[in-house]
């Protein structure tokens, strides 16, 4: 399993500001007048996680509970992680803010201070399911989201994303969109044929994104190739035949395997790009965090 890629384009302090403990406490004290940040950032504190409902939704999604090792990313104030643990899942808690990690440890969790991008390979390897409640940040920027999402999709049961009706209603009112998270995972479905489903009940929606064993092997390979490219080539490298030969040696792949992997990586990035931007970006470019790469015409 690949190591994480961590560079200057990961989550910033500015992005984390709405989720700090002092801000959450201010929201809880003054809900009716609070206007510092969108109210959807505090939905986890407002939603009652009914264990019976969560069990039924997981059953409909074919996600087993007993002995399933779950890593919660963006655990935040912890109500969702608490619910998953209470119904019988083996939960590890992660969050980029120290105050929430400490709270989780005090609540008896094995917990670590990581952004989604920083989760180490050993933890990825032993995780059956990655889960979160409304932690959108790892998925909003294709430069950093693709590699992290692919790493999560190598897990046996993929990604579980919980969302409240309160949040979806606020997003629709603000942005006028009905697309939702299922649409965000469409590029992964087109590239890897991953499953994209959701079930909902009484204000709680659970999305599930996962794939079969053979597809997970392809995803893992593309993670490994992406990491090799990022580690071994500078920004704005043109991946020509010379670079390809170097990658073949480092990845211990044959040429056809590597070409297929590069094609998937390029296709995924192009599909992830907002449609309005595609006319400005060459169709041979993809980005891994802060580095841009070009795939030149490569001869078979």
Query: What are the structural domains, with CATH classification, of the chain?
Result: 13-211 (3.40.50.150), 215-295 (no CATH)
Task: Give the span between the Cα atoms of 263 and 268, in whole angstroms.
Answer: 9
Torsion angle of C-alpha atoms 119, 120, 126, 130, degrees rounded to 10: 10
On whether the CB atoms of residues 112 and 72 are closer than 8 A, the answer is no
pLDDT of residue 299: 47
pLDDT at 300: 45
pLDDT score for 297: 63
Q: Compute, in degrees rounded to 10, the torsion defined by CA atoms 238, 242, 246, 251.
A: 70
| pTM of the predicted protein model | 0.94
Residue 272: phi and psi, rounded to 5, are -70, -25
3-state secondary structure of 292: strand
Tell me whether strands 285-288 and 291-295 are parallel, antiparallel or unpaired.
antiparallel
Collect the ranges in the chain with pLDDT lower than 70: 1, 9, 11, 175-179, 275-278, 297-300
């Amino acid at each position: 399993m690949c190591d994480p890629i961590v560079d200057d384009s990961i989550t910033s302090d500015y992005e984390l500001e709405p989720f700090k403990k002092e801000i959450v406490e201010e929201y809880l004290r003054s809900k009716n007048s609070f206007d510092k940040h969108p109210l959807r950032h505090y939905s986890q504190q407002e939603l009652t996680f009914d264990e019976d409902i969560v069990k039924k939704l997981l059953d409909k999604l074919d996600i087993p509970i007993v002995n399933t090792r779950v890593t919660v990313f963006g655990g935040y104030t912890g109500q969702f992680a608490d619910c998953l643990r209470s119904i019988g899942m083996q939960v590890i808690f992660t969050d980029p803010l120290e105050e929430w990690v400490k709270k989780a440890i005090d609540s008896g969790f094995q917990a670590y201070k990581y952004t989604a991008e920083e989760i180490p390979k050993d933890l990825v390897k032993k995780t059956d399911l990655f889960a979160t409640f409304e932690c959108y940040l790892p998925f909003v920027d294709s430069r950093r989201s693709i590699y992290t999402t692919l790493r999560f999709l190598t897990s046996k049961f993929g990604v579980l994303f919980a969302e409240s009706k309160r949040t979806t209603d606020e997003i629709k009112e603000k942005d006028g969109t009905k697309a939702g998270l299922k649409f965000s995972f469409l590029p992964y479905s087109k590239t890897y044929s991953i499953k994209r489903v959701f079930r909902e009940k009484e204000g709680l929606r659970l999305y599930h994104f996962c794939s079969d064993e053979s597809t997970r092997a392809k995803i893992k390979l593309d993670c490994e190739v992406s990491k090799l490219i990022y580690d071994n080539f500078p920004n704005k490298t043109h991946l020509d035949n010379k670079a390809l030969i170097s990658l073949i040696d480092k990845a211990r792949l044959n040429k056809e395997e590597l070409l297929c992997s590069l094609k998937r990586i390029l296709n995924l990035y192009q599909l992830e790009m907002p449609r309005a931007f595609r006319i400005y970006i060459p169709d041979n470019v993809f980005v891994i965090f802060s580095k841009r790469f070009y795939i030149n015409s490569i001869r078979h």
